[in-house]
Amino acid sequence: MADVLKGKVVIVTGAGRGVGAEIAKLAAAEGARVVVNDLGVSQAGEGTSLGPAEEIVQAIRAAGGEAIADGSNIGNWEGAHALFGNAMKVFGDVDAIVNNAGILRDTIFHKMSKEEWDAVVQVNLSGCFYVARAAAPHFKDKQKGSYVHMTSTSGLIGNFGQSNYAAAKNGVAALSKSIALDMQRFGVRSNAIAPFAFTRMVSSIPDTPENAERNRLNRMMTADKIAPFVVALCGDGAKDVTGQVFGIRRNEIFLFSQPRPIRSVHAGEGWTPQSCLDRALPALRKSFHTLDRSSDVFTWEPV
């Protein structure tokens, strides 16, 4: 290994399994001291256990690395601050945060319950804010720090039955950009990554005929493929990279576009509802986006 993170302290949320576990192990292999955060709930969101986090910590230590397990609930303000406080207490510093923790509660929009909405937004979006916010004063004071937040093409592009997850993950991309803007003058950077990987969370996507092809492709993409780029963004070698949205799909790395005006119309006399219908919409319609899903955009097999 090249010791890309030598001497760094990295917090990885949702690191007891899947993508987070692979990031934590590679960060440690690259020289970081790692806080492996995981609530250890079941796939249904029930119960808590430090077991999954402890298992990853033991794997890191067996490979000669340094790590501690943390079972704080990042879905609330107090838990996120407890996580950060634990890292500071044990290691005395934090250099990077990987906001990886997430859950799915897929339901078609017209059947989605308030509980399904609230649970997903609490973990995927609010949890991301809580953890980032807990570290912000320290990063500001030390004039350093890197955030890597997990977004999703479900939000950036779209998918069926995921209005809660899509809204939260699109919010994560916007949050990451706002953090980058607000914290740039303090030497702090923030980027978002949309990972493609078959994990326990992704495996909960219903195995319906509509999802069959999506799930087949997902199974081709392993969690370990996400870790190298995440680790790179945490290190000093990427200190000029901030405010970006990336994608990782097996061995492919993408830079996503961000919304910008693509067409305009003007009426010197102002608009009326009828003139909008007669002139504005016909002129703009040529550039309308279709109702794409992620699979409509990424049409090739993972390479």
Would you call 161 exposed, middle or buried from its count of C-beta atoms within 10 A (0-12, 13-18, 19+)? buried
Given a contact cutoff of 8 angstroms between Cβ atoms, the answer to whether 198 and 218 are in contact is yes
Per-residue exposure over 14-38, b if at least 16 CB sit within 10 Å of its own CB, e if not: bbbbbbbbbbbbbbbbbbbbbbbbb
- What residue type is assigned to position 5 of the chain? L
CA dihedral 37→187→166→249, nearest 10 degrees, is -80
Would you call 9 exposed, middle or buried from its count of C-beta atoms within 10 A (0-12, 13-18, 19+)? buried
Active site amino acids: 165
- What residue type is assigned to position 135 of the chain? A
**Dist. CA 147–CA 114, nearest whole Å:** 30
Two tokens, residue 217: 């492709």
